[in-house]
């Protein structure tokens, strides 16, 4: 992050109870107001006014949560009435302050100056002159900071979040390491060998973990050269092995994580009426026989499928490689769902509309074979692969806005699944 932006953020953070204008910040940076605002928006993905408002809302809500009278707090932060604060909060977060707090969320008020970050980094044996950039993870809708992350040089990341999140992810990372997988939460030991805790926040320094390799679109030459022993299929086989290793690690911690239980069959069957409406509306060739077979057969199979703590969002970007070998698995805000383990396996192959169907089937076949080589799939799991694919397709079609381009692709994908069941039988 450019130095003048960092200085502006620090100034904002320490002056939230006073009036702050873009002109004032621009003058501090020796830029015109218009140019400063453009640079600020590029760096923070937010206007100056919106950013200041969000920080005031966050700080005010924290003070209210700590027991201060609401009317006094909101007045301190520049709101004439509580009603004005309430209206601004609902517009920013989509819910009332009370509901926000009742969801066990905490207002994000933690902001660290660069000099403080450098002092924290002194606890690790790394060069002290590396460039520091903001790489925080924010909610795509609200803009709320979910993980504060700083990229340190080209290969390190310093991270912090709510203490409970940090403890959970560090423990999972260490358990994964015992299975031979790294993750973005595997800690680099401090000079003392302990985790770093400043009395309020846990800080974690990690290394960058490889690059994604699979689920990229194939060129015509790659499609022509593809066979079961191609590099892509070999990578998919290793991907399946990595998912099995991850599941084996997650079994050791699932009792402590206390995940919520998902039911893929129930969610999909509840979505069928909406899918039927779209089938009629868009003249899809999805017959009543397909829905009857899905409901009956998968209903009989579902309770027989092994369930456990899973990743829950295992896309191609989650699997990272170095020199053609899988080295780790990434994922923020995951590892809190108990699901059939087949969900992670099938989901990791990507959607049926992301590549030519022949390539997709061979990729999925190789992933299943890789998983089976580490942790054998049950007879019921082998029978259920097709129905898990259908479940994902049904849910995606039912919950996507019909006007989105991806909805059109989802409709074609589910139509293909419904009409070509024989292609997905005996994949493993």
Q: Do domains 114-208 and 220-424 have the same CATH topology?
A: no
CA distance 78 to 61: 13
Q: Which helix (H) or strand (E) holds 352?
A: none
Q: Please compute Rg for the chain using Cα positions.
A: 25
CATH of 220-424, one of 3.90.1200.10, 3.20.20.70, 3.30.230.10, 3.90.230.10: 3.90.1200.10
Longest dimension (CA), the chain: 70
What does the pLDDT read at residue 354? 63
CA 237 to chain centre: 24
**Token digits for 342?**
């087949």
114-208 maps to CATH 3.30.1330.10: no
Each domain of the chain, given as residue ranges in start order, spans 3-102, 114-208, 220-424
Segment-wise mean pLDDT, segments of 10 residues, the chain, 428 residues:
70 85 88 86 84 88 78 90 92 85 58 77 93 73 67 91 79 89 88 76 83 45 41 82 93 83 95 94 92 97 96 80 77 77 92 75 93 97 97 89 78 92 90
Q: Which CATH superfamily is domain 3-102 in?
A: Homeodomain-like (1.10.10.60)
Instruction: Report the DSSP beta bridge partners of residue 416.
Output: none
Strands (E), 48-138: 132-134, 137-138
Residue 91: CB atoms within 10 Å: 10
SS3 66: coil
Give CA–CA dist 26/5, Å, rounded: 10
Residues 6+ apart with CB under 8 A from 320: 209, 210, 211, 212, 213, 326, 327, 328, 329, 330
Measured CA to CA, the distance from residue 299 to residue 288 in angstroms comes to: 16
* Structure confidence at residue 1 (pLDDT): 45
* Percent of the chain topping pLDDT 70: 86
Place of tokens 């003249």: 283
pLDDT at 264 (0 to 100): 96
pLDDT digits (tens, 9 = 90+) for 229-251: 346 778 889 889 999 999 999 99
What the block records as the tokens of 260 is 């919520």
pLDDT for residue 86? 92
Contacts of 11 (CB under 8 A, 6+ apart): 20, 25, 28
For residues 41 and 47, the answer to whether their CB atoms sit within 8 Å is: yes
- For 219, the enclosing helix (H) or strand (E) is none
pLDDT of residue 198: 66
Give the pLDDT of residue 144: 59
């Amino acid at each position: 992050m450019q130095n003048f932006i960092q200085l502006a953020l620090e100034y904002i953070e320490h002056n939230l109870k006073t009036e702050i204008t873009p002109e004032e910040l621009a003058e501090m940076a020796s830029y015109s107001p218009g140019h400063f605002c453009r640079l600020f928006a590029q760096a923070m993905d937010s206007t100056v006014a919106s950013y200041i408002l969000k920080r005031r809302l966050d700080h005010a809500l924290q003070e209210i949560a700590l027991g201060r009278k609401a009317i006094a707090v909101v007045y301190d932060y520049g709101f004439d009435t509580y009603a004005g604060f309430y209206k601004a909060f609902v517009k920013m977060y989509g819910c009332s302050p009370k509901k926000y707090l009742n969801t066990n969320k905490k207002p994000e008020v933690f902001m660290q100056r660069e000099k403080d970050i450098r002092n924290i980094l002194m606890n690790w044996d790394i060069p002290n002159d590396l460039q520091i950039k903001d790489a925080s993870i924010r909610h795509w809708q609200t803009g709320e900071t979910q993980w504060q992350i700083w990229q340190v040089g080209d290969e390190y990341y310093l991270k912090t979040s709510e203490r409970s999140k940090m403890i959970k992810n560090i423990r999972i990372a260490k358990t994964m390491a015992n299975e031979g997988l790294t993750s973005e939460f595997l800690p680099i030991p401090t000079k003392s060998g302990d985790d770093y805790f400043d009395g309020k926040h846990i800080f974690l320094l990690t290394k960058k973990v490889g690059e994604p390799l699979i689920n990229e679109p194939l060129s015509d030459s790659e499609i022509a050269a593809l066979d079961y022993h191609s590099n892509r299929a070999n990578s998919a086989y290793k991907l399946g092995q990595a998912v099995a290793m991850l599941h084996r690690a997650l079994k050791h911690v699932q009792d402590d994580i206390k995940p919520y239980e998902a039911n893929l069959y129930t969610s999909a069957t509840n979505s069928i009426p909406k899918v039927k409406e779209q089938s009629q509306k868009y003249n899809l060739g999805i017959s009543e026989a397909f829905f009857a077979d899905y409901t009956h057969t998968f209903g009989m199979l579902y309770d027989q499928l092994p369930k456990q703590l899973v990743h829950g969002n295992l896309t191609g970007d989650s699997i990272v490689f170095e020199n053609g070998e899988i080295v780790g698995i990434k994922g923020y805000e995951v590892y809190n769902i108990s699901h059939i383990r087949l969900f992670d396996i099938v989901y990791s192959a990507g959607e049926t509309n992301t590549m030519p169907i022949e390539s997709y089937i061979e990729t999925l076949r190789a992933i299943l074979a890789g998983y089976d080589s580490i942790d054998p799939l049950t007879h019921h799991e082998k029978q259920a692969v097709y129905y898990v694919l259908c479940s994902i397709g049904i849910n995606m079609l039912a919950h996507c806005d019909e006007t989105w381009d991806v909805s059109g692709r989802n409709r074609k994908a589910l139509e293909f699944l419904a009409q070509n069941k024989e292609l997905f039988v005996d994949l493993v």
